[in-house]
Chain A
Amino acid sequence: MRDHPLAQLTLARMREFYREPEAIFWVFGFPIVLAFALGIAFRNRGPGELRVAVLRQAGDSALAAALAHAPGLAVAVLDSGTARLELRTGRVALLVVPGEHVVYRYDSTRTEGRLARLQVDDAVQRARGRADPVRVEDERVTEPGARYIDFLIPGLLGMNLMGSGLWGVGFSVVQARTKRLLKRYMATPMRRSHYLLSFVLSRLVFLFVEVAALVGFAWWIFDVGVRGSFGALTFITVLGALAFNGLGMLVASRARTIEAVSGLMNLVMLPMWILSGTFFSYARFPEAMQPFVRALPLTALNDALRAVMIDGSPVAQLGRPLAIVTAWGVASFVVALQIFRWR
């Protein structure tokens, strides 16, 4: 039976990719390393224990004992010299001076100072016999989706779809052009559409591995879930991958050297790395820039991914960002086909 040319071209694409260890790392390994490093660095810590000190003088031991029982406080009894130094450098949040009037010495502009003031006073008053008129109960919740890592993972996913979409097409096409392989293909009856489609197909195969690796890792290590449906997530990632394939095709359509295409790639990607809200919200940019920022394909893709992963929005509510992504993809493909240098 005769092999189908599209199948053979797609297989060739895939083989060239997975036989290149560096490519594997940059597409699959790098985003996971990045997610891990940033997830660790910006993990949400509770306020932790507050260190407070009691000045060493008459009455210190009774106060220290009272404070030691209070939850969330760590107490030390210090000489006045040491106490002053530690208070000034922020190693203790508050200094308690025992006496008939208990004195709290602290910096009221620091959050820790004010927090310590409340907790220490509470402990001191209770130790002296204050009774609470109202019974209260604590109910602690941590809202999933509000952490930095929840914000970061969809952004990394979007950035990775952009990077592998652009590089996957751009590099291979230009390499085939510089090696005169493109011209050699033109000397056969191969259909041009088959050649271009093979990039899309091979990309879709790896896309699933790529998305599953990052989403799975984030779920396993950081407990980042997907609130929306996996169907919606799949639809959006496929759309994003195709759009960036188109952009890659456009970037690679004329370039004759790897150097030229690398420069173009960075020119296209650099603004989006910064502006499109991958690592921090694009709301931080001035109002005047917002229309431009929102029109970028990566911004729209990141918005759609966050809406699905964090807010659980259905695809139907994402018309605007998905329309932007689609428009970029279609326009890029059309222009690329017009100006593509087939030799």
Chain B
Amino acid sequence: MSAIRCTGLVKRYGDVLAVAGLDLAVTAGECFGLLGPNGAGKTTTIEILEGLTPPDAGDVEVLGLHWTGGAETRALRERLGIQLQDTQLADKLTVEETVRLFASFYRSSHTVDEVLALVALEEKRRAWVGKLSGGQKQRLAVACALVSRPELLFLDEPTTGLDPQSRRQLWDVIGRFRAAGGTILLTTHYMEEAERLCDRVAIMDHGKIIALDAPGALIASLGAEHVVEFALADGAAPGVDELAALPGVRAVRPAPDRTALTVAEVHRAVPALLALLERRGAVLSLLATHHATLEDVFVTLTGRQLRDA
């Protein structure tokens, strides 16, 4: 069963085509990620699905209902939990007052105690929102989304700007919701987050989905599991053709500061690379290998880095 289904979504802001004909189906019970650089159209897409932005064209169906306004819209709102990217909750209210306010909007809701336990904010209950740290504010925003006992949770860049510890705490919150059978649609530009949380990921660029699959399958589509990066302190770098001819190398991506090789077999490619550089008298300033990530998938698909695309 589909929790979300949309076809042919188009949204235009003046001359900018924010969403350029997008089809999507999110299955009930899965965590689905929209991954892409800033400006790819993730927020516009998620806000159309949330019924906050009307699309210029296309159909949206959420939990079998439509954003028709009136009773159907209200019924749908009762069943969703939504966290927006840049909401600032009222500074002068306490955590408890804020959660109670949001809870009062729903016919059935968690108690304040329950929802604060879900996001581990019990000891901040009487603190003013303005005094919370960034991570605590973000967990409160998720608490306000969870308070309605939603079937479907929308999270728009929930961990952007957070320190690693706060990010991990939020991942735990999302993981628990997922484990309890909830459906999640989240946007992110952190590949690590998408790999860790999502069952399936759609990679977005310029308002379109350019790849959609499970994170592991997307990475596997590179045909290589590892990435070898090197940079030279001295001497001319070997040519792209020369590098591509090395054993185990699938692709070569030269960049100004370093060269990246997508590699199937590190144990064969690295000795061959070192031998090649030795022959040319080049001196290494950097040599690193990592498992291929969604970032590498994005770079391979678009030729640009995810973070500065």
Chain A residues within CB distance 8 Å of chain B: 2-5, 7-9, 11-12, 15-16, 19-20, 179-181, 183-190, 343
Q: Bound complex: CA of A184 vs CA of B137, how far in Å?
A: 15
Would you call A3 and B77 a contact (CB within 8 A)? no
Q: List 24 A-B contacts (CB under 8 A).
A: A2-B109, A3-B100, A3-B104, A4-B104, A8-B100, A9-B101, A11-B101, A12-B90, A12-B97, A12-B101, A15-B93, A16-B92, A20-B92, A180-B84, A181-B88, A181-B89, A184-B89, A187-B82, A188-B102, A188-B148, A189-B74, A189-B77, A189-B105, A189-B106
Q: Bound complex: CA of A4 vs CA of B104, how far in Å?
A: 6
Q: Which parts of B74-98 form the interface with A (CB within 8 Å)? A: 74, 77-78, 80, 82, 84, 86-90, 92-93, 97
Extra contacts, 4 of them, besides A7-B104, A187-B50, A189-B106 (Cβ < 8 A), are A9-B104, A12-B90, A179-B88, A188-B106
Is B243 interfacial (CB-CB < 8 Å)?
Answer: no
Q: Using Cβ atoms and an 8 Å threshold, which residues of chain B touch A184?
A: 82, 84, 87, 89, 144
Is B288 interfacial (CB-CB < 8 Å)?
Answer: no
Q: Using Cβ atoms and an 8 Å threshold, which residues of chain A touch B92?
A: 15-16, 19-20
Chain B residues within CB distance 8 Å of chain A: 50-52, 74, 77-78, 80, 82, 84, 86-90, 92-93, 97, 100-107, 109, 144, 148
Partner of A8, one of B87, B89, B104: B104
Q: How near does chain A come to B27, taking the closest CB pair, in angstroms?
A: 23
Q: Bound complex: CA of A144 vs CA of B144, how far in Å?
A: 58
With CB as the reference atom, state the residue of chain B lying closest to A6: B104
Q: How near does chain A come to B54, taking the closest CB pair, in angstroms?
A: 11
Q: Bound complex: CA of A12 vs CA of B77, how far in Å?
A: 22
Q: How near does chain A come to B73, taking the closest CB pair, in angstroms?
A: 9
Partner of A3, one of B88, B103, B144: B103
With CB as the reference atom, state the residue of chain B lying closest to A178: B88
Q: Using Cβ atoms and an 8 Å threshold, which residues of chain A touch B89?
A: 179, 181, 184
Chain B residues touching A, majority SS: loop
With CB as the reference atom, state the residue of chain B lying closest to A181: B87
Would you call A5 and B74 a contact (CB within 8 A)? no
Q: Using Cβ atoms and an 8 Å threshold, which residues of chain B touch A189?
A: 74, 77-78, 105-107
Q: How near does chain B come to A178, taking the closest CB pair, in angstroms?
A: 9
Q: Bound complex: CA of A175 vs CA of B104, how far in Å?
A: 22
Q: Bound complex: CA of A181 vs CA of B84, how far in Å?
A: 9
Q: Using Cβ atoms and an 8 Å threshold, which residues of chain A touch B51?
A: 187
Q: How near does chain B come to A171, taking the closest CB pair, in angstroms?
A: 13
Q: Using Cβ atoms and an 8 Å threshold, which residues of chain A touch B103?
A: 3
Q: Bound complex: CA of A183 vs CA of B104, how far in Å?
A: 17
Would you call B105 and A188 a contact (CB within 8 A)? yes
Partner of B105, one of A179, A180, A183, A190: A190
Q: Bound complex: CA of A181 vs CA of B97, how far in Å?
A: 15
Nearest 3 Cβ contacts at the A-B interface: A179-B88, A8-B104, A3-B104
Would you call B86 and A16 a contact (CB within 8 A)? no
Q: Bound complex: CA of A19 vs CA of B91, how far in Å?
A: 10
Centre residue among A8, A186, A189 by max chain B CB count within 10 A: A189
Partner of B84, one of A2, A12, A187: A187
With CB as the reference atom, state the residue of chain A lying closest to B102: A188
Q: Bound complex: CA of A4 vs CA of B87, how far in Å?
A: 23
With CB as the reference atom, state the residue of chain A lying closest to B85: A180
With CB as the reference atom, state the residue of chain B lying closest to A343: B52
With CB as the reference atom, state the residue of chain B lying closest to A342: B52
With CB as the reference atom, state the residue of chain B lying closest to A2: B104
Partner of B88, one of A4, A11, A180, A190: A180
